[in-house]
A and B are shown apart, each in its own frame.
Chain A
Amino acid sequence: MLLKRLTEAYGVSGDEGDIRDILKEELSGHADEVYTDALGNLFFRKGKGRGPKVMLAAHMDEIGLIVVGFEKSGLLRVHKVGGIDDRVLVSKPVVVGKNKVPGVIGAKAVHLQKPSERKKAIKIENLYIDLGVRSQDEAEKLVSLGDYVSLSAKTREAGDNCLIGKAFDDRVGCAILAELFKEDFDLDITAVFTVQEEVGLRGSGVAAYSIHPDVAIVVESTSASDVVGTKDASHVTTLGGGPAITLMDASYIAPQVIIDLFVQTAEKLGIPHQFRRLTTSGTDAGKIAQTHAGILTGLVSVPCRYIHSPASIININDVQNTSRLVKGVLNVIAEGGLTLETTTEKIK
């Protein structure tokens, strides 16, 4: 399964090479043109050149860590890459660098903690990676400063049509777009797998600049907080509730034509859907929408519980329904169902 392969692979922001390789292999022969840019964004283009030019985008990178120092004992000091709650790092396996050297993030034994210590969150300053070596020399033979560190986790089926794993944000978007790209649409399509979303939406803007599309669709993964102890109003999205359409987030406000396009397509095809019920946090959609003289951009996300942790949960129905919705939207665009013209009125 492509999604399993993509999520189990390692690709911290700035180190997306392995994800690029999987996608290149998966889509080889399906594109008229494959290329990368100076930042590492990966583009696949195909199509008829008629009708509007469409950009599809999902980000390849995931949150992680980077090696910033060595202790004499051979332990590694790290900083965070992207937004991680320090508290999810404790007691987890990781891999370090190109050679995927295994390590663990330990914690002081509960027996050795003072009661006051136990009440505090363990901060990144007090966490380090243990490779099982006994000295800095040994550590430096295995890894180097600047090596990226990824949490490691398998992706497995669980519960009622769910998957447990890491990096669904946003490999699920990558998987959906890669599968859709193999299908035929009467459109000029460029699917771009972007870099560095998690460190400030760095890849998507330059990608949109070089493609200069008429319309862009971003497929993301977003928080589902429908868990015990939270009120309905703070759920953001509901797991199993279908694709989440964003009206507004910290970087982006959806144009009405785009909202209508997604909602009407979902209703016509009988696809369960929901709105994302939170307005904070930014996405590639915001960057893309503000490129050139403005690009019409849509954003739809797969709900994910415990996002940005190595044990997050998504629902397979949501993945399939998100894919169906994006496919439906592309067909509507291909049929001329989206008005792209900007208006100019002459004033005497």
Chain B
Amino acid sequence: MWNKVQVSPKNWGLSDLDIKRFLKDICEAPGVSGYEHHVAKVIKAAFCQFCDEVRQDRLGNVVFYKKGTGESNRPRILLAAHMDEIGLMVTKVEEGGFLRFTAVGGIDPRTIVGQEVILYGKETLAGVIGAKPPHLTDDEERGKGHKIEDLHIDVGLPEDQVRKLAAPGTLAVIRRELIELAGNSIAAKALDDRAGIAVLLTCLDELERLQHSADVYAVATVQEEVGVRGAAVATYGVVPDIGIAVDVTHGEMPGVPEHDVSYIGKGPALTLGPNIHPKVGKELVRLAKEYRIPYQIEVTPGVTGTDARAIQVTRGGIATGLVSIPLRYMHTSVELLDLDDIKQAGRLLAHFIAAVDHEFVEGLPCY
């Protein structure tokens, strides 16, 4: 199932096709919050070729270590992208074998009606999400959005078999193959935040061709969607000087105020605001300009809804940054983005890492 990313020779770097193929593999792999082991395996297989060491902590965070060239006391930079995705969990087997379920993470029930699902029970089962039939609903009801308790999963099996194969606690995800759209656009499920994982891979690949004195800890974090839990313990474990979260941000679309969104295909969004260390934020902008990397500024007036939120307040406080990929239709199964934004974000992070030295790190606590 897994196509190993082909890089030969290394100094040519990852091609667009490599990145697309990697995204297809990780987006189609299941990894609901708290159950990231499957997607973690796929990520490890691709990342290992760029790293010196890989370890997994007790919550399941996977930490890829890439050693810097500094002689001693090397700056430590943590990059965090979460590998978990929103999903569904079976709560009850109803008469007739229909399954009731709850949401893991923030799901709009209106986006899962009429979808195919894959259930990861004792066996992998194909199913669909059904609702009350239209001829039994009146006009008023049709005007309302479905609630999760109105929905069920149907696997086309008799009740006794369903009880054996998909007991309460069984996880399910929407079945969606990655869709290649016009230009460099793609749509898939779980691009939040497998896109960030792809940025990390791109960054590590870029670093193969750059001199960096700092040590890099690229972390695929767990349980972001249920309250940024993985990033907190990962940061505690790594003890970085600088922590940068890589996530997705809302892309422009009808019905959303323009100043609240970023634009697809116009480069990574660099966040400024209290969650971001001012020197880290400014340095990212400076390097984007220097290397002519397209970027956009995103201003967040309080804490962000990303791993950056947890990283910043770990241990005695960590200088934090946030780089985001603009994405439309977040938390649906057709999240849409431009691959070019991923590539540019990877490049920018690599140049940031290469630029970090002792002086920069020592200046961080000085206000």
Interface string of B320-343 (1 = CB under 8 A from A): 000000001111111010100000
Interface string of B182-212 (1 = CB under 8 A from A): 1101110000000000000000000000000
What residues of A have a CB within 8 angstroms of the CB of B94 in the complex?
228
Q: Is A50 an interface residue (CB 8 A)?
A: no
Residue on B nearest A312 in the bound complex, by CB:
B128
Q: Is A227 an interface residue (CB 8 A)?
A: yes
State whether A111 touches B333 (Cβ < 8 A).
no
State whether B182 touches A142 (Cβ < 8 A).
yes
Number of residues from B at the complex interface, CB < 8 A? 68
What residues of B have a CB within 8 angstroms of the CB of A73 in the complex?
252, 254
Partner of B329, one of A109, A158, A223, A312: A109
- With A90-B113, A91-B115, A311-B128 known as contacts, the answer to whether A106 contacts B332 (CB < 8 A) is yes
For window 133-180 of chain A, which residues contact chain B by CB distance below 8 Å?
133-134, 138, 142, 153, 156-160, 162, 164
Give me 16 other A-B pairs in contact (C-beta within 8 A), A85-B142, A130-B181, A164-B126 excluded. A87-B131, A87-B146, A106-B334, A109-B332, A110-B107, A118-B108, A134-B183, A158-B125, A159-B125, A159-B155, A160-B156, A160-B161, A228-B94, A229-B152, A306-B128, A312-B128
Residue on B nearest A93 in the bound complex, by CB:
B179
For window 115-159 of chain B, which residues contact chain A by CB distance below 8 Å?
115-116, 125-136, 142-146, 150, 152, 154-158
For window 289-348 of chain A, which residues contact chain B by CB distance below 8 Å?
305-306, 308-313, 315
What residues of A have a CB within 8 angstroms of the CB of B144 in the complex?
119-121
State whether B156 touches A159 (Cβ < 8 A).
yes
State whether A102 touches B255 (Cβ < 8 A).
no
Q: Is A236 an interface residue (CB 8 A)?
A: yes
What residues of B have a CB within 8 angstroms of the CB of A280 in the complex?
135
Minimum-distance CB pairs A-B, first 5: A159-B156, A132-B185, A132-B181, A162-B156, A106-B329
Q: Is A39 an interface residue (CB 8 A)?
A: no
A123 to B277, CA, bound (A): 42
A308 to B94, CA, bound (A): 24
Residue on B nearest A225 in the bound complex, by CB:
B133
Size category of the binding interface on chain A: 35 or more
What residues of A have a CB within 8 angstroms of the CB of B130 in the complex?
227, 305-306
Q: Is A104 an interface residue (CB 8 A)?
A: yes
A103 to B107, CA, bound (A): 22
A254 to B357, CA, bound (A): 85
State whether A111 touches B128 (Cβ < 8 A).
no
What residues of A have a CB within 8 angstroms of the CB of B305 in the complex?
111
**Interchain nearest-CB distance for B183 vs A (Å):** 6
Q: Is A264 an interface residue (CB 8 A)?
A: no
Q: Is A253 an interface residue (CB 8 A)?
A: no
A87 to B132, CA, bound (A): 12
What residues of B have a CB within 8 angstroms of the CB of A87 in the complex?
110, 113-114, 131, 142, 145-146
State whether A104 touches B96 (Cβ < 8 A).
no
State whether A131 touches B116 (Cβ < 8 A).
no
Residue on A nearest B327 in the bound complex, by CB:
A109
- With A111-B331, A311-B128 known as contacts, the answer to whether A228 contacts B96 (CB < 8 A) is yes
What residues of B have a CB within 8 angstroms of the CB of A120 in the complex?
143-145
A30 to B336, CA, bound (A): 47
State whether B154 touches A227 (Cβ < 8 A).
yes
Q: List 25 A-B contacts (CB under 8 A).
A: A73-B252, A75-B254, A87-B142, A87-B145, A90-B113, A91-B115, A109-B332, A110-B106, A110-B330, A112-B256, A119-B144, A120-B144, A122-B145, A132-B187, A133-B183, A134-B264, A159-B127, A162-B156, A164-B116, A227-B98, A227-B154, A228-B95, A228-B100, A229-B150, A311-B128
